[in-house]
Chains A and B, each alone.
Chain A
Amino acid sequence: MASTEIMTVNMGPQHPSTHGVLRLVVELDGEIVQKVTPHIGYLHRGVEKLSEHRTYHQTIPLTDRLDYLAPLSNNLGYVLAVEKLLGIEVPERAQTIRVILAELTRLKSHLVWIATHALDIGAMTVFLYAFREREKVMDLYEKISGARMTSSYFRVGGLSREVYDGFEKDVREIVDTFPGHFDTYEGLLTKNTIWLQRTIGNGVISAEDAIDYGITGPALRGSGVDWDLRRDNPYSGYEKYKFQVPVGQNCDTFDRYKVRMTEMREAVKIIKQALDSLKPGPILADAPQVCYPPKENVYNTIEGLIHHFKIASEGFPVPEGEVYQSVEAPKGELGYYIVSDGGTRPYRMRIRPPSFVNLGAIEKMAKGAMIADLVAIIGTLDIVLGEIDR
């Protein structure tokens, strides 16, 4: 009788399918995975600690760099948390634009997911097509905020500036053309035998386990748990929009694939509704202690100048207290817990990144799987190391 031996293999941190600098220590019995231990922290930049030495305003660019595939969702969660602590009301126009951009961000993030996930499993064409479409959203990002990835577009109290002329036209073009592109991806994948064999029955995690591990977002809904913060704990005016929350049944990679594909179509619907309801109006809250005054006032009046100096040089104090605000980011529940001691800087900021929590479930999902299926499991979890390591 042949004796077998458990082999320990290192996957990453420079592995193309780990979507960043993730290192997995895999214990193998032949080709069967016995145990997976993720080793993280290669991308740690200390965002939480850094924020304690930055004003509330200066922390916004740090949040861009968490989930760099969805910077505006990160901005949104952060500004909502600070606004909640300050108790300020954001004007409707700013809220609607935030929703449009947050949903475009969802599209952008899911396009990277479908691209890399398919590439990992061997469908290279989808990768090229999805990146082509993602470029459209990136262009819009650049036009509206001035950067393709590190947008820093939202401000506490509203938006940093008004949208550009032609914004609505550009968004309409995206929502009109994207469903056709989704058909293309689905045409390439949904009935493709290789795709089906690689995804059906792969990475199964039951609803109960998913909840126990704290999984959120599409990965949770793929396991049949009907939970979406946009609907169940609405923020930024999401209660006004009608959309379906897709859920899966079989708890496997294929169901999570279907959930995310449907989610993209639903995101397009939300953007359409938001565009239709977009009305002219102010984009900053009426909160002079927090928001910069308009530039004309700064250039032309002494009151405006003094006001501007005060906010730029000191920042704004936030009342003492603590707050938790979470948003449904493309990858799951992104939460910010901020403690304020009444000063102009966060006393403590704790970020709950969805990828970090979701990655924890890999030990459960990968146990007993083939080593080749491990990349499919990483892909279906849709992790981003920027937010795992912070």
Chain B
Amino acid sequence: MGEVSRFWREAVHRYRLVGHRCGNCERTYFPPRDVCPVCHRDSVGKMKEFELSGKGTIESFTVIHEVPSPFVRQRPYILAIVKLDEGPSLTAQIVDVDPGEVEIGKRVSAVFRKIAQQGSSGIIQYGYKFVLD
């Protein structure tokens, strides 16, 4: 059950791209951080939950051909670093697209997809992936 409870604690962030915004310098962080790495002590108690728009730009990507067996249905899959419009970058899958169509600089939007499941009887994990605009 350890895996289930860990995923559940992070679900709100994975489901809705909820990060933290520093009340001192207005920088946005994803995943959320308890203390702003720029403002340090000045940010204590000022980190507020902030829902990101899910709009961003592909900064970098790689096409993964050597996939672990649970991902064989999605081979090859595309893993990208997406820079969100609010500032933070994150790593996520780009879906519903052929690898040839993905380019650095292309605009993407977050979608809600299945990320993994623990066998046919286990919990299903959902979260963000991205599609090309």
Is chain B found bound to chain A in the same assembly? no
Chain A residues close to B by CB (< 8 Å): none
